[in-house]
Amino acid sequence: MRQANPARPRARRAPAADLAGRDRLPSLTGLRFWAALLVVLYHLSRQVGEIPYVSDTVWYGRSGVTFFFVLSGFVLAWTYDGKAVPAKVFLWRRFARIWPLMVVTGALSVAVWVWLGQTAMVSAKAVITNLLLVHAWMPDTVKGANPAAWSLSDEAWFYLVFPLLMALPAFRSGRGRRWIWALTCVGVVLVWMSGALVEPGSTRVWALDYLPLSRMLQFVLGVAAGLAVARGWRPPVGLWPAVALTAGWHLALIPWSWYASDADWYGPYHASQLLSTPVFALLVAAAARADLDGRRTGLGGRWAVRLGHWSFAWYLIHEIVIRSWLGTYGRPQGLVDTALVWLLVIVVSQALSGLAYHGVEHPLERLLRGAGPQVPRPAVPRPAAEPSAEPARTG
């Protein structure tokens, strides 16, 4: 056996599949935790009970889902820019990323619905459409099985159109991406204003907040921002001004709610999820730019990254924990009891999320990626036969 040269450093083995580059932008991974926390506090405020000042700030925290849609487009564009990955390989990777944990948490959610005697939420249609990732396309199935999983139906649609977006010439030029930014920002305003044309009630909520076509512009803007940063673009604001802008946007929703209700199409509920799109795109781009410049952001530390990894599971699990508690004990009374239930839900759901990530999400993703289609390896040309030094014999 050939001896290794001790003077030469040993090459690191690349991790299996394509999981190696997931934390090349650690601040984005850390931001995933904060976006998930925003959604968790939103549900705690509205379902468990309010905590003064905190609940006011996160009352429209469902906008964290908008952040995830923008982030998804950004990370996919930044990751796959310039890479010749067949569409079937890309789609299989995304399937391996979201489907196993969705199935496991969906089964847990169905079990809780049955345990609580609320079987109307687990119709065969709701379960089947969840498994096929098409439940957000229909208002009567969007919240079936596991309500939090509605966003995965939107993501599945985004994944289908992503290879087509990357093939469009407009995304490959700086001028084209600037037009996409402008048209997308106008588009989200028009989608928001289209609420005036839809009858109030569940149909309007579904059309504006759940329907994949309404949410697609958020993903598109993320793709444009990801390609721009990958090709050297620097956002007009730095990371912490972008954080301040995001916080200021959410604080502005508080006085907005004094003059318009959640039921109004022009109210802060729909606006928080649609009009926040360019704000989140700037935040994601600024965080990525800071990482690429090698600046310390405070968002990409060891625990921030770990909690970011758990955020997908936390998003899918926390509402199940809330529902289980409320179905068993009811809503708490008083500020102290409400705060204790908040703390209990956060701790328990976070612990379950860590277990789900390490025991289900991560290992099954690796397993499925390894079992599915792979990127073809380029053929290595065979070296041409060396000419002989001896003259060819004749005769």
Q: Which of 63, 9, 101 lies closest to 366, judged by CA?
A: 101
Q: What pLDDT sits at residue 270?
A: 94
Q: What pLDDT sits at residue 380?
A: 59
**Higher-confidence residue: 13 or 271?**
271
At 395, the pLDDT band (50, 70, 90 cuts) reads very low
Summarize pLDDT for 70-124 with one digit per residue, the tens: 999 999 999 999 888 899 999 999 999 999 999 999 999 999 999 998 887 788 9
Contact status, residue 47 vs residue 322, Cβ threshold 8 Å = yes
Q: How far apart are CA 97 and CA 17, in angstroms?
A: 12
Mean pLDDT in the chain?
89
Within a 10 A sphere around the Cβ of 344, how many other Cβ atoms? 14
Phi-psi region of 4 (alpha: psi -120 to 50; beta: other; left: phi over 0): beta
Summarize pLDDT for 347-373 with one digit per residue, the tens: 999 999 999 999 999 999 999 999 988
Q: How far apart are CA 94 and CA 85, in angstroms?
A: 13
Q: What pLDDT sits at residue 40?
A: 98
Q: How far apart are CA 375 and CA 332, in angstroms?
A: 53
Q: How far apart are CA 83 and CA 130, in angstroms?
A: 31
Pinpoint the alpha helices (H) of the chain. Answer: 26-43, 54-58, 64-80, 87-115, 124-131, 150-167, 174-193, 202-209, 212-230, 239-256, 268-274, 277-292, 302-329, 335-356, 362-371
At 7, the pLDDT band (50, 70, 90 cuts) reads very low
Q: How far apart are CA 357 and CA 366, in angstroms?
A: 12
Average the pLDDT over 53-59 and give the result: 95
Q: Between vectors from CA 338 to CA 336 and to CA 342, what angle results, nearest 5°? A: 115
Q: What pLDDT sits at residue 153?
A: 96
Contact status, residue 361 vs residue 312, Cβ threshold 8 Å = yes
Res 379 pLDDT > 70: no
Q: How far apart are CA 390 and CA 215, in angstroms?
A: 72
Q: What pLDDT sits at residue 24?
A: 84
Res 163 pLDDT > 70: yes
Q: 90-122 as b/e, with b when 16 or more CB fall inside 10 Å? A: bbbbbbbbbbbbbbbbbebbbebbeeeeeeebb
Summarize pLDDT for 299-347 with one digit per residue, the tens: 989 999 999 999 999 999 999 999 999 999 999 999 999 999 999 999 9
Distances (CA, A) of 40 to 130, 312, 330, 345: 22, 12, 18, 9
Q: Which of 15-29, 42-56, 225-239 has the lowest mean pLDDT?
A: 15-29
At 23, the pLDDT band (50, 70, 90 cuts) reads low
Res 391 pLDDT > 80: no
Average the pLDDT over 8-21 and give the result: 36
Q: What pLDDT sits at residue 392?
A: 40
Name residue 161's amino acid: V
Q: Between vectors from CA 269 to CA 102 and to CA 116, what angle results, nearest 5°? A: 45
Q: What pLDDT sits at residue 199?
A: 83
Distances (CA, A) of 27 to 117, 295, 386: 42, 10, 53
3-state secondary structure of 90: helix
Contact status, residue 137 vs residue 211, Cβ threshold 8 Å = yes
Res 238 pLDDT > 90: yes
